A and B are shown apart, each in its own frame.
Chain A
Amino acid sequence: MKLTIDRFEGDIAVCEKSDRTMLNIPRHKLPLEAKEGDILILEGENITLDVTESQKRREEIRKRVERLWK
């Protein structure tokens, strides 16, 4: 399952699932370098960072909002 880190609330990472429901994960279970906006891969108890997908997603959104702000 893929997750997006929406935010950190203290020691908890609040992650968005693909159905837009939210999942709280203790920060220590995440890779150390994980930051807001990163995409995670959750396989059983194992959580890894999807570096390629995270970059792709940032670029995708950046292009999408180019003309959004006045």
Chain B
Amino acid sequence: MKKLGCIFALAIIVLAAVFGYQYWPSQQPQSTPSASIFQVTFLDVGQADAITIQSGDSTMLIDAGGNSTADSLVKTLQTMGFNKFDVVIGTHPHEDHIGGLDAVINQFEIGTIYMPKVTATTKTFEDVIEAIEDKGLSVTTPVPGTSFNLGQAVCTLLAPNSQSYEDLNNYSIVIRIQYNQNCFLFMGDAETDSEKEILAKDFSVKADVLKVGHHGSSSSTSGSFLSSVNPQFAVIMVGKDNDYGHPHQETLDKLNSAGIGIYRTDLNGTITFTSDGTNLQVSTEK
């Protein structure tokens, strides 16, 4: 009898734990972001880009990986505690940047969407348009030189500066984000043509962290642009053993000879920078 009583008591405890957890969700620990946090996460999505920025309670997503990682990206973002993105940037309409964007738009609450005013003919692009239309949203055209706030951070658009380019990569939205004394520069796949235009406009490009343009391809990161940015760290978003030889040795040599610390998603996995406004802390998955 004593044994039975114990089992009964144990069953009640287990049931109470299970039902308590299910029926009083407000008692679950909340992942409410701290108002002062500033965090930039370069997600390992293989040979593609996906970056989250959390600035206090405000959130931004720059690109959403390729088609093959769309579902896993949504799960990862949910696990990280995101349920909305105040700003979403599709840097340019190539599959390795907008592949998962339709899934993100469908699954999260979305504020302002920035995309360059250019189209692609892929189903991937059409899926994104459809997701935007289905939610009754529209797209904001990036105007270089203009700024907006993300929490306490200031985001300044630097490119694209021309109406038309031969290569879609140069349509990439380039954005610089300043949180107090720390600066990040996100290049998308912008190539040297766009870099030249940015320098010619005399925009401030100085940054602590550079998201290297076009997965470290030699088509981007000219010497003059790199010396103007003069970063402490460079992040290359690239897939392990990719078919394109990214990052190119030429780019790695430039970064190394300038003494810049290199982080790569193929080697380091997901890379997170946290800023207190003055100091940067880096943590990597691998």
CB-contact partner of B68 in A21, A24, A57, under 8 A: A21
- Does B245 have its Cβ within 8 Å of any Cβ on chain A? yes
CB nearest neighbor in A for B115 = A69
Contact flag A20-B94 (CB < 8 Å), given A6-B122, A61-B125, A70-B140: no
Chain A residues with CB below 8 A from B96, complex form: 7, 14
**CB-based contact A70/B244 at 8 Å:** no
The closest CB in chain A to the CB of B138 belongs to A70
CB atoms of A20 and B132 under 8 A apart = no
- Contact A68/B67 with A10-B245, A61-B119 known, Cβ cut-off 8 Å: no
- For residue B218, which residue of chain A has the nearest CB? A10
B267 interface residue, CB < 8 Å from A?
Answer: no
Quick one: which of B123, B129, B168, B169 contacts A64, CB cutoff 8 A?
B129
Minimum C-beta distance from A67 to chain B (A): 8
Instruction: Name the B residues within 8 Å of A70 (CB-CB).
Output: 138-141
Query: Is the pair A20, B120 in contact by a Cβ cutoff of 8 Å?
Result: no
**Known A-B contacts A9-B243, A22-B67; A68 and B124 likewise in contact (beta carbons under 8 Å):** no
Q: Which of B115, B169, B243 has the most CB of A within 10 A?
A: B243
Q: Tell whether, in the assembled complex, residue B124 and residue A6 are in contact, meaning their CB atoms are under 8 Å apart.
A: yes
Measured between beta carbons, the chain A residues less than 8 angstroms from B126 are: 61, 64
A20 touches B125 (CB 8 A): no
The tally of residues in A whose CB lies under 8 Å from a CB in B reads 28
Judging by beta carbons under 8 Å apart, are A37 and B121 in contact? yes
Is A69 within 8 A of B121, CB to CB? no
Contact B168 A68 (CB under 8 A): no
Report the separation of the CA atoms of residues A34 and B35 in the bound assembly, to the nearest whole angstrom.
51
A62 within 8 A of B: yes
Whether the Cβ atoms of B168 and A62 lie closer than 8 Å is no
Query: A62 near B119 (CB under 8 angstroms)?
Result: yes
* Residue of A6, A57, A64 touching B95 (CB-CB under 8 A): A6
Give complex CA distance A54, B122 in Å: 11
In the complex, are the beta carbons of A16 and B95 less than 8 A apart?
yes
6 cross-chain CB contacts under 8 A = A20-B124, A20-B127, A21-B68, A36-B120, A36-B167, A65-B129
B residues sitting closer than 8 Å to A (CB atoms) are 66-68, 94-96, 115, 117, 119-127, 129, 132-133, 138-141, 167-169, 217, 243-246
Q: Other than A9-B243, A37-B120, A37-B121, give 18 A-B pairs with Cβ distance below 8 A.
A: A7-B96, A7-B168, A9-B217, A9-B246, A10-B244, A14-B95, A18-B123, A20-B67, A20-B123, A21-B67, A36-B167, A61-B126, A61-B129, A64-B126, A67-B138, A68-B129, A68-B132, A69-B138
